[in-house]
Structure 1
């Protein structure tokens, strides 16, 4: 098939041809298209030049499609229907009836903090929707937000590539956990004891965050990280089996302590609270479903 330059063709002709072929009458086509009969006749003349075929022949009872015209009609109808679908307004999102699958990328810490309230709210407001969680490494490897495969990232984004928007979901102070029967820790951690204890820390992408090390260095102290783990959910298990201390967000610390024999203690030095944000791509700014999900996350965090 030779290349056709669509820029040289009036695509409105296709609508006229489809209507004439369907109605088998220039007069009826003109009425349906809200134009004059002469306008239809002129359009059909140009269409014959485009297709290199008469498209219709006049009979005593009206217009009859040529073989080429009859072949064109189903394809023209499909093309026009697709064109109408493309320019139609997006369907209204109704959470009560939607069956959409929401895809969220987050760490297991965010899942521990937010999964239960999010699920409760989805059950209440959008009972037929589904929730799919992805790990952060999966998000990064697949560039999920840019590709439109992920609705939200919830966490601590280290960088914000172009095209993304973010808003604060919640701030969470850091607290310490040790096992309840720890031989050295009673009801309070001193700075010296905190620095001397072995630590459990997170190595989310292989590297341990140095926030605590820098805070200790300002006091002339240093610590030893005895256990480095890739998942937040593993941290309390290591704490329970050792004399280690772990410093994690308050929501996570208290969620663990409610289920395990752990003590939650205030850190003996000033540490900035963590800031959890939700991040989305600008292309979803007008997606009512993603807007609903963002508001639901805010409510869950509250």
Structure 2
């Protein structure tokens, strides 16, 4: 760090000095600065002591700069104006020319449905902007956001510090995904049939429990547990396994494998809202605002069903949001 930051000179004294030099009067400078005359005089004395030489001499009823004062004024004036301009200048962000790189914390499920449309939006509106996707879960999202290693995250979350802002994107429901060629199910699945079948689950904890076990306190016949949604469609395809997945994930899988099917679950499964989260420090960052607004618009245009925000009180915040299935 430059040594100037460690010195005792109060940089506000330079502003007082510049206004006095412009007005050649302590009284008029005090009026412009909304200070008392003694306060301005005291500031000039402190600056004179720091500089080690007189900056003004009295001439008649006014003040004139000494040679040392003239040199100081010539040196600081352009810098003071630059500081004022920098502080008061309006944002200059233009998505068409911005080359910012923003970091998003996403679960693998969110990557599936968000990144494709988001990248198409950026291609049209911000062709030079780039996005880095990093994995987050509800357990670590607060720490990741607090570390400033990401600019925003999309996940479910419990209590968060006041320094993290949050916006509900949607309340996503769950559906049962299966291959009708192998899993013989009726259009309306009975609960007994659901639990009679074998299942594949996504578990971020690396175990055989999921949200169904936590919500209903009933165990499924879990044949396979995987750590992400990436290959879930391929696992279901050609098998009799069932998967309980978020609706948006199911829609993305069906877009690639239209011969698979979904059906409503035979029981009510509570959930929590998917939220857009960001640190307060980037709340006024124009590039981050642009990206958040485009994410919200993408969600608004998506055909999302399931629980709604009005059901939050009835359903609560979800039993265990670490286990998506």
| Aligned position for 2:33 | none
Quote the offset at 1:106 in angstroms.
Answer: 0.8
Q: How many pairs does the alignment contain? A: 276
Quote the residue 1:25 is aligned against. none
**Alpha-carbon deviation of 1:147?**
3.4
Distance in 2, matches of 1:162 and 1:299, equals 25
Shift of 1:208: 5.8
Unaligned residue ranges in structure 2 (runs of 5+): 30-40, 57-64, 301-325
Report the counterpart of residue 309 of structure 2 in structure 1: none
Q: Which runs of 5+ in 1 are unaligned?
A: 20-28, 57-61
Of 103-112 and 187-196, the range deviating more from structure 2: 187-196
> In structure 1, what is the Cα distance between the partners aligned to 2:208 and 2:137?
16
What is the 5 A alignment of 1:177-216? 177-185=177-185, 187-206=187-206, 210-216=210-216
The TM-score normalised by the length of structure 1 is: 0.72
Residue 97 (structure 2) aligns with? 97
Q: Which runs of structure 2 are paired with 1:1-302 in the superposition (5 Å)?
A: 4-6=7-9, 9=10, 11-13=12-14, 16=17, 30=21, 33=22, 35-36=23-24, 47-52=47-52, 80=80, 83-84=83-84, 87-89=87-89, 91-136=91-136, 140=140, 143-185=143-185, 187-206=187-206, 210-217=210-217, 221-240=218-237, 242-260=239-257, 261-272=259-270, 275-302=273-300
- CA distance in 1 between counterparts of 2:248 and 2:138 reads 25
Cα distance change on mapping 1:158 and 1:38 into 2, 3 Å: closer
CA separation of 1:82 and 1:140: change in aligned 2, threshold 3 A: farther
Instruction: Give the secondary structure class of the aligned counterpart of 1:193.
Output: helix
Tell whether the 8 Å contact from 1:165 to 1:279 is kept in structure 2 after alignment.
yes
Which deviates the most, 275-284 or 177-186? 177-186
Deviation readout 1:33-63 (Å, 9 max, x if unpaired): 3x218899x998865532335799xxxxx98
Shift of the 216–146 alpha-carbon distance from structure 1 to 2, 3 Å rule, reads closer
SS of the residue 2:219 aligns to: coil
Q: Equivalent residue of 1:143, what SS?
A: helix
Q: 1:201 to 1:279 in 2, by over 3 A?
A: same
1:167, distance to aligned residue in structure 2 (A): 1.5
Aligned-pair distance for 1:175?
0.8
Q: Mean alpha-carbon deviation: is it higher for 200-209 or for 95-104?
A: 200-209
Contact persistence 1:105–1:152 (CA under 8 A): yes
Single out whichever of 80-89 and 257-266 deviates more from structure 2. 80-89
Aligned to 1:258, the other structure's residue is in SS state helix
Residues 294/183 of structure 1: CA separation in 2 closer, same or farther (3 Å cut): closer
Cα offset, 1:91, TM superposition: 2.3
Alignment check: 8 A CA contact 2:102 2:131 kept? yes
- Tell me by how many angstroms 1:165 deviates: 1.8
Q: CA 1:79/1:269 → structure 2, altered by over 3 Å: closer, same or farther?
A: same
Give the deviation of 1:289 after TM superposition.
2.8
Structure 1: distance between partners of 2:26 and 2:193:
95
1:232 shift after superposition: 1.4
Q: Report the aligned-residue RMSD.
A: 3.9
Q: Is the 8 A contact 2:168 2:273 kept in 1?
A: yes
